[in-house]
């Protein structure tokens, strides 16, 4: 009897020694795999949000660069106009000086010599007192034209310096974006099929919605479903988030800023419970924008690797990151 009891105890010990390692070995890799997956998902989300912010900084720089280029073009035209008027007035003044010289009232060589740079054209001689009040108006016109020309040159140089700085800022942002995208793609490749699960869980895309029942802004936006997200793009067949909004409103004759923050400032704030189709909805402290279409849904260009699509405002991620909404016009 004692021997039989000993055999049962021995069997239990042996069984436990076999089962326990199996349990540990089988559960630990699963736990580690889940932890790795959760970590990768968290990194993907973080990179997408960082990308949105950097892309918007790039768009702001792009908008500033375009404005600066337009200002440079205007200043170049103003410079040419100022130079033409200055040249005309100077020739008139030289005719007067020559006439005065012939009558022995002014030494023309002393006045004109060395004045190819007009900065000392008036300072070296008192022309008004020598020539007389009759030509004071002409002298004043030359002075004003010279001052305007020099102010224009100064502004032009400032704008060209700003242009160079913005170009360099864009270059750095471009490098930063491309680096982040490469990191994003690396993480996505590790997630493999899990990325589709991530998309559905986070964003709750609702599938294709026909533009036919809609009109205006919403109809135009829905017509671009399926077209790729490309950072820094604003149509006609590829977009980032603010680029889609900018392009759609442009088709209706409404000029909006190119950046998310600029688009928010361009509208009138509306509460979430008062949203109407065509309103702009914003997320993550003005890091992202979309166009509300009704029924708690919005259309937008989501992120790198995706396409223009409709999503729910009621997904946990969008609820958590919702910032506000504005109405353009109306």
Which residues are catalytically annotated?
Answer: 241, 288, 300
Residue with tokens 């005065």: 100
Structure-block tokens of residue 116: 């190819």
Secondary structure of 97-133 as H, E, C letters:
HHHHHHCCCCCHHHHHCCCCCHHHCCCCCCHHHHHCH
Please answer whether residues 59 and 232 qualify as being in contact, where contact means their C-beta atoms are separated by less than 8 angstroms.
Answer: yes
What's 303's DSSP letter? Answer: S
Q: Specify the length of the chain in residues.
A: 330
> Is the Cα dihedral 219, 307, 272, 316 positive or negative?
positive
What's 298's DSSP letter? Answer: E
d(C-alpha 18, C-alpha 204), whole Å: 45
**Phi/psi of residue 240, nearest 5 degrees:** -105, 180
Q: CA distances (Å), 167 to each of 1, 43, 66, 228, 286, in order? A: 93, 30, 10, 26, 24
Burial grade of 127 (CB within 10 A; 0-12, 13-18, 19 or more): buried
Other CB atoms within 10 Å distance of the CB of residue 36: 12
């Amino acid at each position: 009897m004692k021997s039989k009891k000993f055999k049962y105890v021995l069997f239990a010990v042996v069984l436990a020694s076999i089962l326990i390692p199996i349990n540990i070995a089988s559960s630990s890799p699963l736990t580690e795999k889940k932890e790795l997956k959760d970590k990768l998902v968290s990194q993907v989300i973080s990179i997408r949000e960082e990308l949105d912010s950097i892309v918007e900084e790039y768009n702001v720089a792009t908008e500033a660069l375009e404005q600066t280029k337009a200002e440079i073009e205007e200043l170049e035209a103003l410079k040419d106009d100022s130079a033409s008027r200055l040249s005309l007035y100077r020739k008139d003044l030289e005719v007067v000086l020559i006439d005065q010289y012939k009558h022995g009232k002014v030494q023309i060589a002393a006045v004109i010599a060395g004045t190819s740079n007009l900065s000392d054209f008036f300072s070296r001689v008192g022309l008004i007192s020598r020539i007389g009040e009759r030509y004071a108006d002409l002298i004043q016109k030359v002075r004003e034209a010279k001052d305007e020309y020099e102010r224009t040159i100064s502004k032009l140089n400032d704008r060209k310096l700003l242009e160079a700085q913005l170009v360099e800022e864009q270059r750095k942002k471009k490098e930063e974006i491309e680096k982040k995208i490469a990191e994003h793609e690396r993480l996505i490749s590790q997630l493999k099929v899990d990325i589709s699960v991530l998309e559905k869980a986070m964003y709750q895309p609702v599938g294709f919605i026909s533009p036919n029942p809609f009109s205006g802004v919403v109809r135009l936006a829905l017509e671009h479903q399926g077209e790729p997200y490309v950072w820094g793009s604003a149509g006609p067949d590829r977009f980032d988030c603010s680029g889609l909004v900018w392009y759609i409103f442009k088709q209706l004759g409404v000029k909006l800023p190119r950046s998310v923050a600029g688009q928010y400032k361009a509208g009138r704030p509306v509460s979430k419970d008062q949203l109407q189709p065509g309103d702009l909805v914003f997320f993550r402290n003005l890091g992202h924008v979309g166009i509300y279409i009704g029924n708690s849904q919005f259309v937008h260009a989501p992120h790198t690797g995706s396409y223009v699509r409709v999503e729910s405002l009621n997904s946990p991620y969008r609820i958590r990151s919702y910032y506000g909404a504005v109405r353009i016009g109306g």
